[in-house]
Amino acid sequence: MSLRYQINLRILISSLCILILGSSIAIWQARDAVNKEIESSINLAVQLITFGFSQASKTPFNETDWLPKFNSLNQTRHLSIQLKEPSGRIIGFAHKNPQTNNDEQPPQWFINLVGVDYPEVEHQITSFTGEQITLIIQANPLDEITEVWHESLGFFSSVFLLTLFTFLAVNLAFNKALKSIAVIVDALKVIETGQYRQKLPDFSIQEYDSIAKAINHMTGELNASQQENRALTQHTLAIQEDERQRLSQELHDELGQSLTAIKVMAVTAGRSQDGATHSQAGAMGTRPTDSIISICDHLMTVVRSMMHQLHPLVLTELGLKATMEDLLNHWSARNPELKLTIDCPDEVDGLEQKITIQIFRVVQECLTNIVRHAQASQAEISLEIDHQKALRLQVTDNGQGCAIDQVKTGFGLLGMRERINSLGGELTIQTQPQQGMSIIATIPLP
């Protein structure tokens, strides 16, 4: 849940609580105001009528003429006033209130909350003729409830506008802070991938600026450590390749030549043997010189394989493209069921020696994994130099593949990744069960 969402949610909940509390108070005050208004109107009407009848002896009047005039007073607009004569005749006159528009009339639920049942009020008065007349007053608070409803609408509108203004004010106030947080989070995601050269900008907010400086200091230290590790890795790999090259040269110069000399001497010795010795050896089976020659051939084959594994001399003599083609021919001869193809431009022969040897080792490791684990029928190797001066290597097979989390634990993959990282490149793997595997290495060129 984002910080912006939490803040807005809490403002909304607070506004709802204020609205509910304010509504309860407003309804309670509205009910109280209506009741007081009705009671005040009834008391005023009783007093005026009593006073009017008490003055009847001085100024006689007819109730039929007097009642409509009294009902027309604004103070009696909430009341319906009738007179009941001793004979039982009801003298009434409808109060001519302005017609309330249906759109302005409050909803029924508000009328039910605010209004109450007001019983009829009867009051005995004496007319100027001495007759006892019953004054009947019935409250009708709709006009007052309508006024309260409009006041409540004003209150609710004010709360709504206040809530909206609070939302806008808080979002404007936090907008800059939240943008700073987004910048920091995005930078941390980049740093998480190992790109320690990523730097955060300066922030105007002191707290965020302190965080940015701490992160920049941390990434600076990590970048320095990474550069030291890469330099150490390159030095280690260079020493390893030099040692392999030296051993390969020693095998070629010393052991290879010695075996060749032994084979030549065995062939010469075999030809110089007389017929008697040849007949005797033939009786025994195979001549000793033939065994020596066979053993020498086997040892020379083993030595050539070891030389190729330690350091392919063709890489130094002919370049990367010829070495890759020779490597594929070697693997195809040993695994005829696996179809290997390569797409390699001539430009790769101009690459630095430290890049070519690492590319060769990565391809060598990929082919080893394909033969051992992939159960693939074909594999494709692609090398290209794009327009951004970067070398891109892709090795793809149609094998059984696997889940990506099962690949990350292999030491072969760790070795390949370390070789590519030592060159400042990036190694990615794409695989799914039963959908093969694709290993992609991108190396920036100087």
Q: Share the mean pLDDT of the chain.
A: 75
* Helix, strand, or coil (residue 44): helix
d(CA 368, CA 127) in angstroms, rounded, equals 124
DSSP 141: T
Bridge partner residues of 179 (DSSP) = none
Q: Residues 376-389: what's their mean pLDDT?
A: 88
Dist CA 402 CA 431 (whole Å)? 6
Closest CA to 433 of 362, 374, 388: 374
pLDDT at site 178: 78
Question: What are the structure tokens assigned to 144, written together?
Answer: 């007052």
What residue ranges do the domains of the chain occupy? 3-93+104-169, 312-446
Q: For residue 391, what are its two tokens?
A: 């070398």
Strand partners, 427: 441
Give the range with max mean pLDDT: 45-59, 171-185, 393-407. Answer: 393-407
Overall size of the chain counted in residues: 446
Write down the pTM of the prediction: 0.47
Q: What is the pLDDT confidence band of residue 382, given thresholds at 50, 70 and 90?
A: very high
Task: Pick one of 3.40.50.1580, 3.30.565.10, 3.30.1490.190, 3.90.1150.10 as the CATH number of 312-446.
Answer: 3.30.565.10
Q: What is the pLDDT of residues 299-346, one digit of tens each?
A: 777 776 666 666 676 777 788 898 889 889 888 988 989 999 999 998
Strand order in the sheet with 79-84: 90-92, 79-84, 132-139, 121-126
In this prediction, residue 394 has a pLDDT band, given cuts at 50, 70 and 90, of very high
> What's the CA angle centered on 317, arms 311 and 320, to 5 degrees?
70
Question: Does residue 338 contact residue 332 with C-beta atoms inside 8 Å?
Answer: yes
Give bridge partners of residue 125 from the DSSP assignment: 133
pLDDT tens track for 15-53: 788 778 877 887 787 777 777 777 777 677 666 666 655
Q: Which amino acid is at 221?
A: E
pLDDT at 28: 82
* Radius of gyration from C-alpha coordinates of the chain: 52
Residue 210: is it exposed, middle or buried by C-beta count within 10 angstroms (0-12/13-18/19+)? Answer: exposed
For residue 226, what are the contacts with CB-CB under 8 A and spacing of at least 6?
194, 196
Q: Which amino acid appears at position 209 of this protein?
A: D
pLDDT of amino acid 98? 45
Q: Supply the DSSP symbol for 118.
A: -
First to last CA, the chain: 45
Strand partners, 122: 136
Q: pLDDT value at position 380?
A: 94
